[in-house]
Amino acid sequence: MHVDVPAKVQEIYAEVLRRNPGEAEFHQAVREVLESLAVVLGRHSEYAEMKTIERICEPERQIIFRVPWQDDHGQVQINRGFRVEFNSALGPYKGGLRFHPSVNLGIVKFLGFEQIFKNALTGMPIGGGKGGSDFDPKNRSDAEVMRFCQSFMTELYRHLGEYTDVPAGDIGVGAREIGYLFGQYKRITNRYESGVITGKGLGWGGALVRREATGYGAAFFADAMMHARGESFEGRRVVISGSGNVAVYGIEKVHELGGVVVACSDSSGYVVDEKGIDLEILKQVKETERGRISEYADRVASAHYISQGSIWDVPCEVAMPSATQNELDGRDARTLARNGCQYVVEGANMPATPDAVSLFRASGIGFAPGKAANAGGVATSALEMQQNASRDRWSFEQSEAKLEEIMRGIHARCHETAEEYGSPGDLVLGANVAGFLQVAEAVHAHGLI
């Protein structure tokens, strides 16, 4: 069968648009992958014949459910829950749960789609899925969060299992929420099935380094990119947006690797601290007190808080967007380039808009897409599953060494694949092609399902 490749890719994308109206983030994520796949179809006509790409763009199962719960005033609240089980060619569905008011089906599908390729890149036996709810945990009491999690799990539990679907955290879902979710799963099923959820507490089946893994992993990935150009973090000015789990542990590892992180943010603004972010104070404000980033500036004399504008106005050599999707646009990308930024490493999922990514790729700025650079979190979740399955527990050093090996391995694979497919240095193409090939081969082997 002769295949006109660019036309074929256009056709697949048009069909995705038609079948999934109004899901802008999902369209964006699919488009970004499809743009890299023309070179693959050119070499693998079997994937065109068997509609492998079309099948990967269609989730295997999508679950949407009502989550009723009662707040502290006795008022009834209703949220919507989602779990998109996108692809199980490589293992049980694996991916986090996001609790944020912006969550809708399109957001969950974009995240689930990215997760397929990210998980493939880790080399671990995990498929791709994602879930969440439009519930906003901000300003909710622990008791409210618990009641919400219990109601959410009362529906979701029937879809989960250590060999079926294994959620974890994401924005708005941390150790507290994972605890409530696991407790309710255990209560309903009467099974202590540790491997059904990851990001658990260290005393009850959790794995060392899971909390740190996404941020540490992104820093290791950045370090590998720099080494490929004969450079390092030593003495470099770094800006990391966000102040959640990814950002906090990204800052920790960048500092250990010799860089200086001078700014971080939350949804209301950002802080600049020319002396380098004081991690102990940041952790106190964000982790212990669940406070706002402005409080960091209240406590640190060398810091100031800016509530307007963009954190990307702060000059830096390395930018690590680690807050949320589409937080860094074309204007920000131009500012970064003008200020001499040399590396952009995505700690969050799809934080750079397509305009921004094009600009980075065209101007020779080293750009690492999230599905490669932030894979350390889910990779360490797979290590947690491994420890649960063997009822084992690894040391911090052992786990961190494994994470570092995985991240350097992902970088090498993306780098080599980009070369092999005629775009040396293009880690977007390398990540998309390497991730896709791994999934496509398994999908193809499993027959028409």
Which residues form the catalytic set? 130
Kind and range of the H or E element at 150?
helix 142-156
Instruction: State the nearest-atom distance from the C-beta of 378 to ligand GLU, in Å.
Output: 4
Looking at beta carbons only, is 52 or 349 nearer to ligand GLU? 349
DSSP string spanning 75-120? -EEEEEEEEEEEE-SSSSEEEEEEE-TT--HHHHHHHHHHHHHHHH
Q: CA–CA distance from 144 to each of 82, 140, 155, 212 (Å)?
A: 19, 6, 17, 27
Query: Which residue number, 260 or 431, has a Cβ lying nearer to ligand GLU?
Result: 431
Q: Strand pairing partners for 79? A: 67
Number of H helices, E strands in the chain: 17, 12
User: 393 burial class (0-12, 13-18, 19+ CB within 10 angstroms)?
Assistant: middle
- Nearer to ligand GLU by Cβ, of 241 and 381: the residue is 381
Nearer Cβ to ligand GLU (151/198): 198
Q: What's the CA gap between 338 and 315, in Å, rounded?
A: 9
Q: Least separation, in Å, of the C-beta of 131 and ligand GLU?
A: 10
Euclidean distance between CA atoms 154 and 158, whole angstroms = 8
CA 15 to chain CA centroid, nearest Å: 26
- Interface residues with ligand GLU (CB under 6 A) are 94-96, 168, 170, 198, 349, 377-378, 381
The distance of closest approach from Cβ of residue 379 to ligand GLU in the complex, given in angstroms and rounded to an integer, is: 8
Helix (H, G, I), strand (E, B) or coil at 9: helix
Nearer CB in complex with ligand GLU: 124/297:
124
Q: How far is the CB of 199 from ligand GLU (least distance, A)?
A: 6
Residue 349 CB coordination number (10 Å): 25
Minimum CB distance to ligand GLU, residue 60 (Å): 17
Residue showing the smallest CB distance to ligand GLU in the complex: 96
SS3 at position 287:
helix
